[in-house]
């Protein structure tokens, strides 16, 4: 019995070392987890958000300080949250995360990037002393709720989906790398053709092409255009009549003068003969 009792104590100590003190189990973290589904909660209230990755050494060193700071969240009236960029690539693109860890402060929809020391004391002073007021907020054009950043988030999600499909083709289906690339190339080509056809269809519906058709002129316009032509023709006819009358008068005048001239010429001839 003695040997078994002597072994029980070391085993109990080993279990405590491996699992930790019993009062620590079931302890709830004060750090809230933000995902693509609930990220709009950040637009209301006071928040401190950490963007991290599990494999990042700097992020691992920051976790104890961040957890300790979260315990003061209720007293400081600030919500402490974190985002795993490996699980939420859309938020990584929405907030333009280029370095890890990245910390943002948000106050009623205005986002500011925290670039101070990463200790519990500095985080508390940043909120209690309202040091965030000295930092210029992110422009509305590049805010996480803007159209531009929403498009960026969709692109990041699409890239992650493509990567997941690529790994599935290679690891699960056993396809070669070039086979996976060929599939993506064909899908890209077909999707481009379908998108082009849809755009042409929409453009044709919104802005139909104008076909040349003979358009009949209104009767008013015809009558207005015919009247000047008739006037011109009447004037031309009147001018021709005047010219013809003048020519007739000239001819009559020449005809009347012709017998008189002939008589005069004959009388002159007779006089000359008589004198001779």
Task: Point out the residues that are catalytic.
Answer: 56, 59
| 172, two tokens | 């699960």
Residue 69, burial from CB neighbour count under 10 angstroms (0-12, 13-18, 19+): buried
| CA-to-CA dists, residue 122 to 15, 80, 142, angstroms | 37, 14, 27
Long-range contacts at 15-23 (CB < 8 A, ≥ 24 apart): none
| Interatomic CA distance for residues 35 and 88, integer angstroms | 6
Instruction: Give whole-number Cα distances, 63 to 54, 225, 228, in Å.
Output: 10, 90, 95
């Amino acid at each position: 019995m003695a040997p078994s009792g002597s072994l029980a104590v070391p085993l109990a100590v080993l279990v405590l070392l491996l699992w930790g003190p019993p009062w620590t189990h079931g302890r709830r973290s004060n750090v809230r987890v933000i995902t693509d589904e609930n990220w709009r909660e950040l637009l209301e209230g006071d928040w401190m958000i950490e963007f991290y990755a599990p494999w990042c050494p700097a992020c691992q060193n920051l976790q104890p300080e961040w957890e300790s700071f979260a315990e003061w969240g209720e007293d400081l009236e600030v919500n402490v949250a974190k985002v795993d960029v490996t699980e939420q690539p859309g938020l990584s693109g929405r907030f333009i995360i280029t370095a890890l860890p990245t910390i943002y402060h948000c106050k009623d929809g205005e986002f500011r990037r925290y670039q101070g020391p990463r200790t519990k004391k500095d985080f508390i002073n940043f909120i209690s002393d309202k040091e965030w007021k000295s930092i210029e907020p992110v422009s509305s054009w590049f805010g996480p709720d803007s159209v531009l950043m929403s498009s960026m988030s969709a692109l990041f999600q699409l890239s992650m989906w493509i990567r997941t499909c690529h790994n599935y083709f290679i690891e699960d289906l056993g396809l070669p790398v070039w086979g996976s690339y060929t599939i993506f190339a064909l899908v890209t080509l077909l999707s481009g053709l379908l998108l082009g056809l849809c755009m042409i269809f929409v453009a044709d519906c919104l802005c139909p092409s104008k076909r040349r058709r003979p358009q009949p002129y209104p009767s008013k316009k015809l009558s207005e255009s015919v009247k000047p032509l008739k006037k011109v023709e009447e004037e031309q006819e009147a001018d021709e009549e005047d010219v013809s009358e003048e020519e007739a008068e000239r001819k009559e005048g020449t005809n009347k003068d012709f017998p008189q001239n002939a008589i005069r010429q004959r009388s002159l001839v007779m006089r000359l003969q008589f004198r001779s």
